[in-house]
Structure 1
Amino acid sequence: MMTIHETEAGAADVEEGLVRNDQAPNAYIVSGEWPSAELSPDAPIGAHVGQEIARRLKAAMETRELTHRGLAERSGLGWRTVGRVLLGDVYPDVATLARLEQALDIEIYPTRWHRQLQQGSSES
């Protein structure tokens, strides 16, 4: 997975599985274990979305009694890719999400997640 973005200077910048200048989703953990860990209050929305994707993916795999390799076979992805998404090491790209959703026949991407995060922060 490669993400291409422009730096502040305008030059193209490529980082494997990362978004802009954000760190990997799991880099924002303040306590607990991924994917149920508490994230830093300043964690970008992408880290929260990555965490929810990992939660949903993990739950679906447990329900179906699938291993990383089993899901990789079903989805046509590499088992390392599946593992990196589950561990929060990368932000999965759209093609990866589509393959995982198709393989598991569920929605993994948390639509309208930004609204839930906004509601949660306004209640604090």
Structure 2
Amino acid sequence: MLEAGYFRAIRVTAVGCRQKTRLLPEPILRSLPTNSRIPRSTLGGGSDHCHAGASRWATLFDVPQGDKRKRSPVEYGLHGVWPHAVLDDHHGARVAQELAARLRAAIDKHGWSIAELSRRSNVARLTIMKVLGGEVWCDLLTIANLERALNVDLWPGRGPDNPPQ
């Protein structure tokens, strides 16, 4: 059975070919135990894993998900309303929360609507709304475009003029 915090992957090895790893969709092979050897023909996909289909077997293994990006920042809230909720101990979610609070304050200070900020920053309205709501992990280009349009620092820094809240 697949443990929480892991996803399922396969490893195909052939003589003279380096190992290849491929992630599997959730429903496929969920019930098989880790390190199972399974016939490669059950996976489909032809010989894209190794040259000339030299391997007939694949090994199933579980891979840790790393930094928990499957959950959105708002899902780390223990109680309260985003972006002022008390969060679980997840540094990334806290950065996203602070960024959302700074973005809302900057929009209000300028007196702009989300549509106006979208026009000036070239960031989609839906993206801005999702960042404000903690529904997405904001990427660097989006942050850079919003900072330039608003002329403020949104990223919670470590300097004395931009401390994390």
What's the TM-score once normalised by structure 2's chain length? 0.55
**What is the SS of the residue equivalent to 2:78?**
strand
The higher-RCO structure (CA 8 Å, 6+ apart) is 1
Aligned CA-pair RMSD: 2.6
Partner of 2:98: 52
Q: Output the CA distance in 1 between the equivalents of 2:96 and 2:143.
A: 11
The gaps in structure 2 that reach 5 residues or longer are: 1-6, 10-20, 25-65
Structure 1 runs (4+) deviating above 4 angstroms are 7-13
Per the TM alignment, residue 55 of structure 1 is displaced from its structure 2 partner at its CA by 0.5
**Map of 1:25-44 to 2, 5 A cutoff?**
25-40=73-88, 42=89, 44=90
Partner of 1:96: 142
Per the TM alignment, residue 11 of structure 1 is displaced from its structure 2 partner at its CA by 4.6
Determine which structure has the larger strand proportion and give its number: 2
Partner of 2:54: none
Determine which structure has the larger helix proportion and give its number: 1
**What is the SS of the residue equivalent to 1:49?**
helix
The gaps in structure 1 that reach 5 residues or longer are: 1-6, 14-18, 118-124
Per the TM alignment, residue 63 of structure 1 is displaced from its structure 2 partner at its CA by 0.7
- Higher alpha-carbon Rg: 2
CA 1:106–1:27 in 2, change beyond 3 Å: closer, same or farther?
A: same
2:124 to 78, 84, 94: 78
What's the TM-score once normalised by structure 1's chain length? 0.72
**What is the SS of the residue equivalent to 1:34?**
coil
